[in-house]
Amino acid sequence: MSEPNVNSSPAPAQPADPHQIARVAALQMVSTPDPDRNLAEAERLIAEAAADGAQLVLLPEYFCFMGFKDTDKLSVREPWQDGPIQRFLADAARRHGVWVIGGTLPLTAPEPERVLNTTLVFDPQGNEAARYDKIHLFSFEKGEESFDEARTIRPGETVRTFDAPFGRVGLSVCYDLRFPELYRAMGNCALIVVPSAFTYTTGRAHWELLLRARAVENQCYVLAAAQGGKHENGRRTWGHSMLIDPWGEIVAVRDEGAGVVAGNLDRARIAEVRQSLPAWRHRVLT
């Protein structure tokens, strides 16, 4: 697992490695309170993305479970490196020969009344390659909408990245998107991922704006996999899973409903943007 490096230099204009272009996919879901149904849907989408040539697939936040109340997630929490959800992710990565970034799942926390909201990464051999515990916990009050993740989630503390064949990948989750300092701490990334379950209200207002800003300011690709639709628990999520290039242009997007959003990550495009407008090189406060 790579540790963040704020002093990384920009990618060269012509990368020496052969992995200049990689196909990546965000999987949009409308998860339910039934983990088995969710895993079956995730398997279907991973298979579809892999058949289309994806080398890396990203699942959304809470891909495995969306309960009727916040405390329901305690019933499906797993100890780290053991449990059916983690075995599913490892098996799917190995079976399809792709990098699988497992959105988030609830892992056991020190406090019995809380969990860690965790992203796990598995390489194409099914080995765990990285773990990130969501740092920033969402809180929102507007009308009948009320959220306070800190009641049931313990925050993480450490910025995490990992190295894929096409470059460094920075890990973040949903509400993290509003904190640009997190992404600066990741260093020189080719790709930033954002598994999410944005509410319809906040998503409509800020989702695309924030994603494009993170791509532009870090001059790298951003891949966001979202929950997108009306859930059985009554919650409505914004969706609009998308891939954004280093210039802030949307490569692919899906508004609502389950499906695959795929596109190519091109290292030459990163180098072109950074050479044309060298903001990455002009950073002073690092």
Q: What is the pLDDT of residues 236-265, one digit of tens each?
A: 999 999 999 999 999 999 999 999 999 999
pTM of the model: 0.92
Q: Among 41, 61, 149, 256, which one carries the catalytic annotation? A: 61
Of 91, 93, 89, the C-alpha closest to 78 is 89
For residues 194 and 174, is the Cβ–Cβ distance under 8 A?
Answer: yes
Residue with tokens 């998860």: 31
Active-site residue, 220 included: no
| pLDDT on residue 140 | 78
Of 101, 120, 127, the C-alpha closest to 25 is 101
Q: Among 41, 64, 73, 134, which one carries the catalytic annotation? A: 134
* 273: Cα separation from own chain's centroid: 23
Q: In whole angstroms, what is the distance from residue 101 CA to residue 173 CA?
A: 11
Cα-atom radius of gyration of the chain, to the nearest Å? 18
CATH 3.60.110.10 matches 21-276:
yes
Q: 143: pLDDT confidence band, cut at 50, 70 and 90?
A: confident
Kind and range of the H or E run holding 200:
helix 200-202
Of 178, 72, 83, the C-alpha closest to 128 is 83
Active-site residue, 73 included: no
Active-site residue, 61 included: yes
DSSP codes of every residue in 145-199: EEEEGGGTEE------EEEETTEEEEE--GGGGG-HHHHHTTBS-SEEEEEE--B
147 versus 232: the higher-pLDDT residue is: 232
Q: Among 174, 189, 220, 256, which one carries the catalytic annotation? A: 174
Q: 3: pLDDT confidence band, cut at 50, 70 and 90?
A: very low
Q: In whole angstroms, what is the distance from residue 27 CA to residue 227 CA?
A: 9
The answer to which of 132-141, 178-187, 232-241, 250-259 has the lowest mean pLDDT is 132-141
- The whole-chain average pLDDT of the chain stands at 92
